[in-house]
Amino acid sequence: MTAMRVCFVTTFYPPFNFGGDGIAVQRLARGLAKWGCEVTVIHDADAYAALTTDPAPAPEAAEPVGIRVIALRSRWPLASALLTHQLGRPIVNSSRLRRLLDHGRFDAIMFNNVSLVGGPAILGYGGAAAKLYLAHEHWLVCPTHVLWRHHRELCDRRECIRCQIRYRRPPQWWRYTGMLDRALANVDVFIALSEFSRAKHREFGFPREMKVVPNFLPDPAPGADGRSEVVPRPHERPYFLFVGRLEQFKGLDEVIDLFATFDAADLVVIGDGTYAAALHRRASRNPRIRFLGRLPGQVLEPYYRHAVALIAPSICFESFGMTLIEAFSHGTPVLARRLGSFPEIIERSGGGILFDSTEGLLHEMQALLGAPDRRTVLGQKGYNAYVQHWSESAVVPQYLSILEETRWRRSTKQSSCARS
């Protein structure tokens, strides 16, 4: 296979990102570069600036050789993001995006979260390049991305206009014009992160077939086996761990309430988000609950390693459970709600336990505390599954195969059209 020139188009990219989609794009870009691809990443720093009042993030270390990062910036970041959101096409940055994508001579363009970088119209940019769309969330079928209706419940039917108003977002009228369906015709391959997400797209009327390729983590260090390395314990008492965005749909409220009467272990919460203040108030009288905010990976590692288990209590439809894989990579088992993509991951790995209720979660917490050998067995199964299914070496070749096949089909189709 010859080396390819690949472009990623994404709204968020570290350090200009809030959640996991930007990090996933960065991992994939670095993975493809490591396998010989020449990678360009185009992301929208305007969108990040429009959505936060925080100071501009500090620059990260330079990307590895083979990766070029282009940040889109203008003097009107809020206007740029709002116009794209409302019109479904890039306005402020349109000329630059056209120039970069139409004349970049890319073999393939991988569109990710394009909600604010260009909307559906950007799927038509890029000339003759093979085009792939990676559905990190459910934006293709949900204006709020997460199928969490009215900011309070799982979405099982469309009430999109009322829902967007409840989210205090202006409705996207272009979703009712056929604009999205026309834009989808420009894309060769759509990729979901889980079988669950693919099925959910189909359930909500997505008209195209989707392949399934999961997110991944870097390969383990040579000789690592998940728990053999000695890592200092970061917390004195036994503890369960939560890692993720602090939003209401992550389900942490009932876990905090559970720890009001459960005193055999502590709860360590790592992450931040718009619901953080409410969760702090809810836990304010419980000294056994610690909020540590966001932590970089090297600081987070020992918290994963020494936790009794990771708790994944999300009450929304997660397209993929990245924190589950992170726990597995450290040999730590997972207690996950039986919802969304979590059952798929737990059943495939054997590295955790599913629960359906707060009572069920309490029972499994008590059982793990009383059976350290069982915890070790679950953790090792999770680690083995991470290496086999969710490591860079397991996943990046799948992307390379899809890229090569898509490029070949696109070039064959163009040759046929030229002859006719």
pLDDT tens for 65-96 read 999 999 999 999 999 999 999 999 999 999 99
Q: Is the pLDDT of residue 363 over 70?
A: yes
Q: What percent of the chain has pLDDT above 70?
A: 96
| Secondary structure letter of residue 242 according to DSSP | E
Mean pLDDT computed over 334-353: 98
Beta bridge partners of 353: 335
Mean pLDDT computed over 197-224: 93
Mean pLDDT computed over 335-349: 98
pTM, rounded to two decimals: 0.93
- The tokens of 339 are what? 């919802």
CA–CA gap between residue 58 and residue 374 (Å, rounded): 43
Tell me if residue 254 falls in helix, strand or coil. helix
Dump strand ranges (E) for 136-265.
Answer: 148-149, 153-154, 189-192, 211-212, 239-243
What local confidence, expressed as pLDDT, does residue 268 receive? 98
- The tokens of 211 are what? 């392949």
- Residue among 93, 72, 87, 187 at smallest CA distance from 134: 187
pLDDT band at 222 (very low <50, low <70, confident <90, very high): confident
- Tell whether the torsion through CA atoms of 21, 27, 31 and 36 is positive or negative: positive
CB 190 within 8 A of CB 133: yes
Residues 6+ apart with CB under 8 A from 144: 163, 164, 167, 169
Please, is 157 exposed, middle or buried when counting C-beta atoms within 10 Å of its C-beta (0-12, 13-18, 19+)? exposed
Mean pLDDT computed over 300-321: 96
CB 278 within 8 A of CB 307: no
CA–CA gap between residue 168 and residue 147 (Å, rounded): 16
CA–CA gap between residue 19 and residue 348 (Å, rounded): 25
CA–CA gap between residue 7 and residue 341 (Å, rounded): 28
Residue predicted with more confidence, 89 or 415: 89
Mean residue pLDDT across the chain: 93
Q: Is the pLDDT of residue 53 over 70?
A: yes
Q: Is the pLDDT of residue 11 over 70?
A: yes
Mean pLDDT computed over 211-225: 88
CA–CA gap between residue 77 and residue 60 (Å, rounded): 21
CA–CA gap between residue 242 and residue 260 (Å, rounded): 16
CB 7 within 8 A of CB 129: yes
Mean pLDDT computed over 30-51: 95
CA–CA gap between residue 234 and residue 331 (Å, rounded): 16
pLDDT band at 104 (very low <50, low <70, confident <90, very high): confident
Give 369-394 pLDDT, tens digit per residue.
999 999 999 999 999 999 999 999 99
Mean pLDDT computed over 240-250: 95
Tell me if residue 269 falls in helix, strand or coil. strand
Q: Is the pLDDT of residue 204 over 60?
A: yes
pLDDT band at 102 (very low <50, low <70, confident <90, very high): very high
CA–CA gap between residue 334 and residue 386 (Å, rounded): 13
- The tokens of 294 are what? 């966001």
CB 243 within 8 A of CB 325: no
pLDDT band at 420 (very low <50, low <70, confident <90, very high): low
CA–CA gap between residue 171 and residue 118 (Å, rounded): 17
Mean pLDDT computed over 180-197: 97
CB 264 within 8 A of CB 369: yes
- Residue among 282, 275, 272, 214 at smallest CA distance from 242: 272
pLDDT band at 19 (very low <50, low <70, confident <90, very high): confident
CB 4 within 8 A of CB 403: yes
Element (H, E) at 127: none
What local confidence, expressed as pLDDT, does residue 76 receive? 92
Strands 334-337 and 153-154: unpaired
Give 144-184 pLDDT, tens digit per residue.
999 999 989 999 999 999 999 999 999 999 999 999 999 99
Q: What percent of the chain has pLDDT above 90?
A: 88
Mean pLDDT computed over 190-195: 98
Element (H, E) at 117: none
What local confidence, expressed as pLDDT, does residue 36 receive? 94
CB 256 within 8 A of CB 266: no
Candidate from 226-230, 245-249, 295-299, 372-376 with smallest mean pLDDT: 226-230
CB 93 within 8 A of CB 74: yes
Residues 6+ apart with CB under 8 A from 415: none
Candidate from 51-55, 200-204, 211-215, 371-375 with smallest mean pLDDT: 51-55
- Residue among 245, 102, 262, 87 at smallest CA distance from 180: 87
CA–CA gap between residue 152 and residue 162 (Å, rounded): 13
